């Protein structure tokens, strides 16, 4: 993608909360699996900083009424280490803003938690946070 050599990774609080919840729910008693999971997520974050449009990610539809033309909503589908069934199917949602060279990790969850995805209302709330963060960045004088 033209324009950005490296992207700034700016996780939303919801991403951090959902990440901690996944670790507590699925990896509290299995350090080896937890380490594998944390390494996998770190690898994805490093990849997003270089190329947020990489092959393992797919474009995702915005919730109704939340579309912004200068943002792209994406999802990574991956296998959760050492889990089975629907809980093994991990999802990592994020938003890319090319103009600011930013990637906003939004939510991480399993197919067991959300067979489709979090509700449109929940996602709209996260997009409002991203939009507010972006307006502040654009309006703030350089330091």
**Which residues have CB under 8 Å from 29's CB, separation 6+?**
none
Domain map of the chain by residue range?
Answer: 8-134
Q: What is the pLDDT of residue 2?
A: 54
- pLDDT for 104 beyond 50: yes
Mean pLDDT of the 13-41 span: 94
Mean pLDDT of the 98-107 span: 93
Q: What is the pLDDT of residue 69?
A: 84
Q: What is the mean pLDDT of the chain?
A: 89
In the chain, DSSP assigns E strands to: 8-9, 57-59, 71-79, 89-97, 102-110
Instruction: Give the model confidence (pLDDT) of 109-132 as tens digits.
Output: 999 989 889 999 999 999 999 988
Q: What is the pLDDT of residue 140?
A: 42
What is the enclosing helix (H) or strand (E) of 97?
A: strand 89-97
Global pTM reads 0.89
Contact 57, 76 (CB under 8 A): yes
Q: What is the pLDDT of residue 142?
A: 42
CATH class of 8-134: alpha beta
**Position with higher pLDDT, 66 vs 22:** 22
């Amino acid at each position: 993608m033209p324009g950005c050599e490296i992207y700034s990774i700016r996780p939303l609080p919801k991403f951090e909360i959902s990440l901690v919840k996944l670790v507590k729910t699925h990896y509290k008693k299995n350090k080896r699996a937890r380490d594998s999971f944390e390494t996998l997520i770190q690898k994805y974050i490093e990849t997003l900083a270089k190329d947020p449009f990489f092959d393992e990610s797919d474009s995702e539809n915005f919730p109704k009424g939340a579309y912004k033309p200068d943002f792209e909503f994406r999802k990574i589908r991956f296998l959760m280490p050492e889990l089975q069934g629907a809980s093994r199917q991990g999802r990592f949602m994020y938003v890319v803003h090319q103009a600011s060279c930013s990637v906003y990790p939004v939510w991480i969850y399993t197919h067991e938690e959300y067979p489709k995805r979090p509700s449109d209302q929940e996602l709209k709330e996260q997009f409002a946070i991203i939009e507010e963060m972006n307006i502040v960045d654009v309006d703030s004088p350089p330091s």
